[in-house]
Amino acid sequence: MDEQTSIHRRKLLEFFSASPLLAPSAARALAGIAAFGTTEAVAQSYDVLRAAPVMNGDLIASPAQALNVFDFEPVAKKELPPAHYGYLASGVDADKTLKANRDDFDKIHVRARRLIDVRKIDTTVKIFGETWASPIALAPVSSVGAFHPEAEAAAARACKVKGHQMILSTVGSTSIEDVIKERGAPVWYMLYPTDDWAVTEKLVKRAEAAGAPAIVLTVDRQGGRNTETLFRERRSDTRTCTDCHTPGFKNEVSRKPMFDDIDVSKVTNLYGTGMTWDYVKRLRGIVKGKLVLKGIMTQEDAKIALTHGVDALIVSNHGGRAEESLQSTIGALPEVVGAVNGKIPVLIDGGFRRGTDVLKALALGATAVCVGRPYVWGLAAFGQPGVEMVLTLMQREFETIMRQVGATKLSEITSKSVRIV
Q: What is the mean pLDDT of residues 57-68?
A: 95
Q: Estimate to the nearest angstrom the gap between the alpha carbon of 36 and the chain centroid.
A: 40
Q: How far apart are CA 142 and CA 376, in angstroms?
A: 11
Q: How far apart are CA 183 and CA 64, in angstroms?
A: 23
Residue 33 has a pLDDT of 38
Identify the sign of the CA torsion 27, 28, 31, 33: negative
Residue 222 has a pLDDT of 80
Average confidence score pLDDT of the chain: 89
Residue 221 has a pLDDT of 85
Active site residue 8: no
> At residue 300, does pLDDT exceed 90?
yes
pLDDT band at 46; cut points 50, 70, 90: low
pLDDT band at 22; cut points 50, 70, 90: very low
Q: What is the mean pLDDT of residues 70-86?
A: 96
Q: Tell me which residue of 29, 37, 45, 49 sits closest to 10, measured CA to CA.
A: 37
Question: Strand 214-218 relative to strand 188-191: parallel, antiparallel, unpaired?
Answer: parallel
Q: What is the pLDDT of residues 193-217, one digit of tens each?
A: 999 999 999 999 999 999 999 999 9
Q: DSSP secondary structure string, 124-138?
A: -EEETTEEES-SEEE
Domain segments of the chain as ranges: 3-52, 69-420
> At residue 160, does pLDDT exceed 60?
yes
Q: Tell me which residue of 97, 104, 102 sits closest to 420, measured CA to CA.
A: 104
Residue 246 has a pLDDT of 79
Q: DSSP secondary structure string, 143-204?
A: -GGGT-TTHHHHHHHHHHHHT--BEEETT-SS-HHHHHHHHTS--EEEEP--S-HHHHHHHH
Residue 418 has a pLDDT of 98
Q: What is the pLDDT of residues 371-388, one digit of tens each?
A: 999 999 999 999 999 999
pLDDT band at 50; cut points 50, 70, 90: low
> At residue 36, does pLDDT exceed 50?
no
CATH homologous superfamily of 69-420: Aldolase class I (3.20.20.70)
> At residue 2, does pLDDT exceed 60?
no
Amino acid at 159: C
Identified catalytic residue from 84, 148, 164, 318: 318
Q: How far apart are CA 418 and CA 421, in angstroms?
A: 10
Residue 104 has a pLDDT of 98
Contact status, residue 413 vs residue 363, Cβ threshold 8 Å: yes
Q: Tell me which residue of 10, 16, 49 sits closest to 33, measured CA to CA.
A: 10
Q: What is the pLDDT of residues 223-280, one digit of tens each?
A: 788 899 988 998 988 888 887 777 888 888 888 999 999 999 999 889 888 899 999 9
Percent of the chain past pLDDT 90, that is, above it, reads 77
Amino acid at 9: R
Q: Tell me which residue of 238, 186, 245 sits closest to 214, measured CA to CA.
A: 186
| 24-34 vs 3-17: helix crossing angle, rounded to 10 | 170
- First vs last Cα of the chain: how many Å apart? 47
